[in-house]
């Protein structure tokens, strides 16, 4: 009886050691993080937070290029294409569009686009000098500022390569609902009239 007990204990010990070794090898094995599907050439399903590429092969959203409210051509090699002037529920008006360098060489954004206020000059390059004019109400609207004095507009625009485009936005107080058109004035650029949606 003691021999049988010893043999059973020995078999149990061998089984236990084998299990521990196989688990250890599995846990430490190889550093290969690919799944079986990836090894077979199949792609793994996208994670929920992964950006979905658009038709241009990038991870960002490209605005509708078919809608143009105004095209503003300047003498400095820059062209502003205004694509939207939309009222937001919070009482804001957001202007969006594209800034394009139409010259044959790299062009640099003029400092006049920043605006004249000391508070926005310290925030660096921006489009804070842009204003909207409501001719009916005889009012001028400036780019809004946040609580730290930073303008609610695209910042950091300096040099733009020839043929390149930069998406931009600028946020203003919303004119009265009866106002359907405003003039947009960007320093050193011609004035253009745009429709509010």
CA 60 to chain centre: 7
pTM: 0.65
- What's residue 5's pLDDT? 46
pLDDT in tens, 48-95: 343 333 333 333 333 445 589 999 999 889 999 999 999 998 899 999
Name the band, by pLDDT with cuts 50, 70 and 90, for residue 109. Answer: very high
Q: Tell me the H-state helices in 45-173.
A: 118-121
Torsions phi, psi for 192 (to 5 deg)? -135, 145
The whole-number average pLDDT for the span 139-163 is: 92
How far, in Å, CA of 9 to CA of 2, rounded? Answer: 10
User: Highest mean pLDDT range out of 32-36, 40-44, 81-85, 108-112?
Assistant: 81-85
Asked whether the predicted pLDDT for residue 36 surpasses 50, the reply is: no
Say how many Å lie between the first and final Cα of the chain, rounded: 94
Name the band, by pLDDT with cuts 50, 70 and 90, for residue 45. Answer: very low
Q: Tell which wins on pLDDT, 35 or 141.
A: 141
The DSSP secondary-structure symbol of 193 reads E
pLDDT in tens, 175-195: 999 999 999 999 999 999 999
Share of the chain above pLDDT 90, in %: 52
Look over the chain and give the mean of its residue pLDDT values, rounded to a whole number. Answer: 76
- Flag the least confident range among 38-42, 68-72, 127-131, 138-142: 38-42
Residues with Cβ < 8 Å from 186, sequence gap 6 or more? 72, 80, 113, 127, 129, 130
């Amino acid at each position: 009886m003691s021999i049988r007990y010893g043999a059973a204990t020995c078999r149990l010990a061998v089984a236990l050691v084998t299990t521990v070794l196989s688990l250890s090898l599995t846990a430490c094995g190889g550093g290969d993080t690919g799944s079986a599907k990836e090894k077979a050439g199949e792609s793994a399903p996208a994670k929920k937070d992964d950006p979905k590429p658009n038709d241009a092969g990038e991870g960002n959203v490209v605005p509708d290029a078919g809608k143009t409210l105004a095209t503003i051509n300047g003498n400095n090699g820059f062209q502003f294409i205004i694509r939207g002037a939309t009222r937001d529920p919070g009482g804001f008006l957001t202007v969006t569009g594209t800034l394009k360098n139409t010259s044959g060489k790299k062009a640099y954004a003029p400092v006049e686009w920043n605006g004249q206020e000391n508070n926005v000059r310290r925030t660096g390059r921006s489009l804070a000098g842009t204003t909207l004019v409501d001719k009916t109400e005889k009012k001028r609207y400036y780019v809004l500022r946040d609580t730290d004095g930073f303008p609610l507009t695209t910042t950091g625009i300096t040099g733009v390569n020839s043929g390149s485009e930069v998406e931009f936005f600028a946020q203003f107080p919303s004119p009265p609902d009866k106002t359907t058109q405003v003039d947009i004035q960007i320093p050193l650029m011609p004035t253009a009239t745009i429709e509010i949606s």
